[in-house]
Amino acid sequence: MGGMTESTATPGTPDATPAAPETSPRDQTLADRGSNRSQRPSSEAFRRFIAERWADRPAGTPAPLPAAPYAAARRARISALFPGERLVLPAGPLKTRSNDTDYRFRPHSAFAHLTGLGTDQEPDAVLVLHPTDDGGHEAVLYFRPLAGRDTEEFFADARYGEFWVGARPTLDDLAALTGVRTAALEELADALAKDAGEGGVRIRVVPGADDAVAAQVDEARGGTATADELAEADAALAEALSELRLTKDEYEVEQMRAAVAATIAGFERIVRNLPRAVEHRRGERVIESSFDGHAREEGNAVGYETIAASGDHATTLHWTRNDGEVRPGDLVLVDAGVEVDSLYTADVTRTLPVDGTFTDVQRRIYQAVLDAADAAFAVAKPGSRFRDLHAAAMEVIAARLAEWGLLPGTAEESLDPEGQYHRRWMVHGTSHHLGLDVHDCAQARRELYLDGVLEPGMVFTIEPGLYFKSDDLVVPEEYRGIGVRIEDDVLITEDGHENLSAALPRRPEDVEAWMARLLGR
């Protein structure tokens, strides 16, 4: 990235007076010193020259996003909940990784849900639902449209400029894609403030999405409401947006199927690369990079950091360091999901015998986890409560641990809220909603989530596990250093469920046969 020009610390408003090489560092602000590695041409002649003789941009506008009509229906549902109010949903800003380099942009999930935009669209954009006289709302998408070739941004802005990050959409482009009216970001502040203030239109903003937009909203709100009252109003919007995602529409289900299919192909790639992982000093990284490379090739990215945990590492629930060896005779737990371009992600775990065959003790533990998962599947149907999934899985886990003599009492005593001894070996939950976020619908109320009733269109994981740490003196030595999790993605249907990840083998004998086939054995 050490190019001819670069932006200053205030992207979009580049410094017109480049630092001369002889400038003393003490004459420069710290922010300006990043420009010391190169010189930006600034002569009038150069500016005229770089602005000239470019071919016309392609005519026409893009076709509407397939998600656009679904996003419109979602906006209508939110609109109905907040009549007369102005609702502000930022995509969020670019986030600095270090110094002047940013992370790849991913929009806030609520913004993606209500616009249908995915991949890296569109940093700093803000969707506003403005109240209309008929009690509804008009959606307007404010963003930074493509700048002209006669602007400094065109060639000199490393964060937004066409020379640096490519041509961004025009106002017409994004309007055509989303079906939403678009406006330039400079219009946002006035639009937020219109009829607002004490006694005026109430404004709510999605909390935590964009601090700069939140500050603009606070300025527009004015008035006498306390910070706590405003925070509570914003939290109610976040809650409604989260609950809107508890059931998926037909487009979302299709995207989940695509995410799961790409994820299954990623697991196949991992198995094909297992011999190389065994050879490598950091075999877990071979597994991680096999999957993550596949996720970038086939989707937007991974939906969360891949867990590639071999041997005892599998007993560390979020082992994402992935720097260990992969040894024959051990199990390797892989928890990974492809996020497709629309930003929906799968979340799948398989625990594989590195050399292709489970030992007896590995199989015994694996089968207990599989039986726990199947018990949760048995109650995965409309009318069950979300909490029943976990309860069903825990009955099996407690029973097996009791059979193996690991509990301080009976399975029943362990299942009592005052006991829960079995949770020593599975401290996490059994299920979570899944969608645009790997832990989707996280701001939904308890009565609609944990205590909620399962409905067609809900998508969640079933993911019991057993984790026996190598230094756990309660368990027999042969169990130590074994961690097993089996995680599938489940859609509730009218009359039961569909295991979206069923094409990835789960039963130990099926896992062995699948691995043998992929490894050509």
What is the contact surface with ligand GLY in residues (CB under 6 A)? Answer: 304, 335, 347, 432, 438, 463, 487
φ, ψ at 318 (rounded to 5°)? -110, 55
Q: How far is the CB of 290 from ligand GLY (least distance, A)?
A: 17
Q: Which option in ligand GLY, Mn ion, none does residue 388 bind, with CB closer than 5 to 8 A by kind? A: none
Q: How far is the CB of 127 from Mn ion (least distance, A)?
A: 28
Q: Which is nearer to ligand GLY, 85 or 339 (CB)?
A: 339
- End-to-end CA distance of the chain, in Å? 46
Q: How far is the CB of 359 from ligand GLY (least distance, A)?
A: 25
Q: Which is nearer to ligand GLY, 388 or 463 (CB)?
A: 463
- CA distance linking residue 393 with residue 33, whole number of Å: 58
- CA distance linking residue 277 with residue 243, whole number of Å: 42
Q: What is the DSSP string of 424-458?
A: GG--S-S--B-SSSSSTTTTS-TTTTTTPBP-TT-
302-341: which residues touch Mn ion (CB under 5 A)? 335
Say how many residues make up the chain.
521
- CA distance linking residue 366 with residue 335, whole number of Å: 15
- CA distance linking residue 217 with residue 223, whole number of Å: 12
DSSP H/E element including 302: strand 301-302
Out of 461, 465, 484, 497, name the contact with Mn ion by CB under 5 A: 461
Q: How far is the CB of 442 from ligand GLY (least distance, A)?
A: 11
CB atoms within 10 A of CB 187: 11
Q: Which is nearer to ligand GLY, 32 or 335 (CB)?
A: 335
String of contacts with Mn ion for each residue 266-305, x by CB under 5 A: ----------------------------------------
Of 414, 406, 375, the C-alpha closest to 392 is 375
Q: Which is nearer to ligand GLY, 147 or 380 (CB)?
A: 380
- CA distance linking residue 91 with residue 23, whole number of Å: 39
Q: In 160-297, at which residue ranges do the beta strands (DSSP E only) sit?
A: 181-184, 203-205
Out of 152, 284, 288, 347, name the contact with Mn ion by CB under 5 A: 347
Closest residue to Mn ion using C-beta atoms:
335
Q: Which is nearer to ligand GLY, 126 or 441 (CB)?
A: 441
Q: Tell me the window of 130-138, 247-255, 262-270, 347-355 that interacts with Mn ion (CB under 5 A).
A: 347-355
- The helix/strand/coil state of 86 is strand
Q: Which is nearer to Mn ion, 176 or 511 (CB)?
A: 511
37-76: which residues touch Mn ion (CB under 5 A)? none
- The helix/strand/coil state of 353 is strand
Please state whether beta strands 181-184 and 137-143 pair in parallel, antiparallel, or not at all (unpaired): parallel
- CA distance linking residue 344 with residue 251, whole number of Å: 11
Q: Which is nearer to ligand GLY, 428 or 507 (CB)?
A: 428
Please state whether beta strands 496-499 and 488-493 pair in parallel, antiparallel, or not at all (unpaired): antiparallel
Q: How far is the CB of 335 from ligand GLY (least distance, A)?
A: 5
Q: Which option in Mn ion, ligand GLY, none does residue 304 bind, with CB closer than 5 to 8 A by kind? A: ligand GLY
- CA distance linking residue 90 with residue 98, whole number of Å: 23
Q: Is 488 in the site for Mn ion (CB under 5 A)?
A: no
- CA distance linking residue 305 with residue 410, whole number of Å: 38
- CA distance linking residue 162 with residue 7, whole number of Å: 13
Closest residue to ligand GLY using C-beta atoms:
335
Q: Tell me the window of 87-95, 121-129, 479-487, 498-506 that interacts with Mn ion (CB under 5 A).
A: 479-487
Q: How far is the CB of 74 from ligand GLY (least distance, A)?
A: 24
Q: How far is the CB of 458 from ligand GLY (least distance, A)?
A: 16
Q: Which is nearer to ligand GLY, 142 or 377 (CB)?
A: 377
Task: Note the residues at the interface with Mn ion (CB under 5 A).
Answer: 335, 347, 461, 487
